[in-house]
Amino acid sequence: MSHCKRLAITAGEPAGIGPDLIIQLVQKSHPDELIAICDPEMLCARALQLDMPIVIEKFNPEDPPSPTVARTIKVLPVQLSRTVIAGQLDTKNANYVLETLTIAANGCLSGQFDAMVTAPVHKGIINDAGIPFSGHTEFLETLTGSQQVVMMLATEGLKVALVTTHIPLNQVATAITQPLLRTIIEVLRHDLIHTFGISSPRIIVSGLNPHAGEGGHMGREEIDTIEPVLNELRNKGYELQGPLPADTLFTPKYLNHCDAVLAMYHDQGLPVLKYKGFGNAVNITLGMPIIRTSVDHGTALDLAGTGKADIGSLTLAIHYAAEMARNKSKSIHES
């Protein structure tokens, strides 16, 4: 089991801050091998614009993984369709963005990479190019043939997973069914064990309604859907607390005794996490046969090429990806 992990980093939207973040990141050495999947000429041009020294080496998959040397980056080359100007989107490069994701994911599936880390993409410009695309998560779910993925964001001292993600609020209650909730909790617990190394994960589950329904007076979803699933899984040995009111569960009384929170919908759980750790949080996709982490921010076109982009989230995403890869290797080795 190699201690040094090989991580694929997709540079995301080439007109955004993804290339900047990679260049800024490798100004220092890293204990794991970072492989940028992007156009090397674009990376060179952006490094010149940022006035940051960088040496680009072509990635050779036959070489054993080795730590990243400061101001050096290995690149698996993918050619842009059109030369990029920082801050200016171009539909001609939409396919390039998706190709980098496909190469990274397939490399993880084949074992060439231990994990993939994604810089931000611009959904709008991909759709403007005539390609249906709702996001990294859905794209990778299809590509890897996963049955049910779970979106989780993590920052220091808090992990929040979601039952539903990017759907209108008026569709949430209908979307939360017993089979979906059961599967989400099973995926969350499995990955907390096998990729986070938590032997007996303690999960807090929020209610859907204010005051967790207040005994049915403010909605019956807790009684009809959530509680039956939690009781069923508790009988299988799952450590689950809830359903708890979302307005009080994010307090030390509960968080000091749990490993993750499961929120029912996007804006129930993520405002708290982003208040606590925006810029130092990481987006993690659970439920896939590969490890994928991502930054918690967008393409920031206005910052591209300025050198003012903050590498905090990408640094954390790389740290999580490497640690998850090590825990996964250990779990496979011990099983």
Residue ranges covered by each domain of the chain: 1-146+289-334, 148-287
- pLDDT tens string 35-48: 999 999 999 999 99
Q: Which residues of the chain have pLDDT under 50?
A: 1
Q: Which CATH architecture has domain 148-287?
A: 3-Layer(aba) Sandwich (3.40)
Residue list for the binding site: 136-137, 166, 211, 266, 274, 283, 292
Predicted local confidence at residue 1, as pLDDT: 42
Task: Please check whether the domain covering 1-146+289-334 is classified as CATH 3.30.1370.60.
Answer: no
> Which residue's structure tokens are 């009988």?
235
User: What DSSP string describes 95-108?
Assistant: HHHHHHHHHHHHHH
Q: Are 93 and 56 in contact (CB under 8 A)?
A: no
Domains 1-146+289-334 and 148-287 belong to one CATH topology: yes
pLDDT for residue 263: 98
In single-letter form, the type of residue at position 265 comes to: Y
Binding residues for a divalent metal cation: 166, 211, 266
Binding-site residue numbers for substrate are 136-137, 274, 283, 292
Q: Distance between CA 330 and CA 52 in Å, rounded?
A: 37
